[in-house]
Chain A
């Protein structure tokens, strides 16, 4: 079975500062990894995904994540935070088994961006 750990349920950064949201995963087989973002009163939106191609994945809104197999990590970064980045971020892993592709999520990280 796979699992995801997101360190830090709340992260606060200043506008213009680096955003780093941590995600570690556990999987017995090569995983697919995802970052989703949820803005208030909206559904989850895919930021980026890793599907065994390039280890550095670029997503929307200037976010990127690096897959590090040796560290079982998939941390999300953005060089310069913007007020509009304030939202809840979810890391997720999926493994194709028996025709299914269910996502296993972390507990989420609430990002606050301050002036």
Chain B
């Protein structure tokens, strides 16, 4: 069974540009989470989807971040326009049940110059 995949693995963009990160959860997992780790800090929750609905988006930093999960399968996280402080590693995780284990992808390392 394939794990959680994320694309791209690395992205380097300039301040003001737009970047879209993609996450493919494990097939059949209704719950999809986005987390972010800024260098030297803890991994922080961004938002949680249940199927295609946003269950909790309390961790989204501001309105420059837009997450979608059309059809309840893969998810995208768009940052527009990107700022320097958006640099970090963005992790996606999925789980079959709400209290089930969250399986993490390898992350996307975003660098904003």
Mark A residues whose CB is within 8 Å of B.
4, 32, 36, 41-46, 49, 51, 90, 92, 96, 98-108
B105 in contact with A103 (CB, 8 Å): no
Roughly how many angstroms separate A104 CA and B33 CA in the complex, as a whole number?
12
Contact count band on B: 20 to 34
Mark B residues whose CB is within 8 Å of A.
3-4, 31, 33, 35, 40-45, 48, 50, 55-56, 59, 91, 93, 95, 98-99, 101-107
Known: A36-B104, A43-B106. A101 touches B42 (CB 8 A): no
Roughly how many angstroms separate A46 CA and B93 CA in the complex, as a whole number?
12
Known: A90-B43, A102-B56. A42 touches B101 (CB 8 A): no
Known: A41-B106, A43-B91. A107 touches B48 (CB 8 A): no
